[in-house]
Structure 1
Amino acid sequence: MGELQSALDALSGVDLDELSDGPLLDHVRELVVARNRITAALTRAVRRADVRAACEHDGAKTMQSWLRGHLRMAAPAAGRLVGQGRALDCLPLTEGLFTDGELDADSVEVIAAITEPRNRDKAAAQGIDLASVEAALLLVATHGSHRDLRIAVADYLAKLDPDGPEPDPTEERAFTMVQHPDGTWTVHGTLDPVGGQKLATALESTSAASRCAGDTRSRAQRDGDALVQLADNALATGQLPVLRTVKPHVIVTIGIDDLVDPATCPGAATTGLGATISAARARWAACDSTITRIVLDPDGLPIDVGRDHRVVPAHIRKAVELRDKKCVFAGCEAPRWYCDVHHIIEWMNGGRTSVGNSALLCERHHGKVHHGYRIERDDTAPPGRRWRTYRPDGTEILIRTPLLT
Structure 2
Amino acid sequence: MSTDSFELLPNAHPTADAIREDILANPGFGRHFADHMAHVRWTLDAGWHGREVRPYGPLTLDPAAAVLHYGQEIFEGIKAYRHADGSVWTFRPEKNAERFRRSARRLALPELSDADFIGSLKALLAQDHAWVPTPAGEADESSLYLRPFMIASEKFLGVRPAHEVDYYVIASPAAAYFKGGVEPVSIWLSSHYKRAAPGGTGFAKCGGNYAASLAAQKEAEKHGCGQVAFLDARENKWLEELGGMNLFFVYQDGRLVTPRLTDTILEGVTRDSVLTLGRDEGLTPEERPISIDEWHEGAASGEITEVFACGTAAVITPVGELVTEEDRIRLAGADGNPIAKRLRTKLLDLQYGRAEDTHGWLTRLT
Length-normalised TM-score, structure 2: 0.26
Length-normalised TM-score, structure 1: 0.24
Larger Cα-atom Rg? 1
Larger RCO, structures 1/2 (Cα 8 Å, 6+ apart): 2
Q: Report which of the two has the higher share of strand.
A: 2
Q: Report which of the two has the higher share of helix.
A: 1
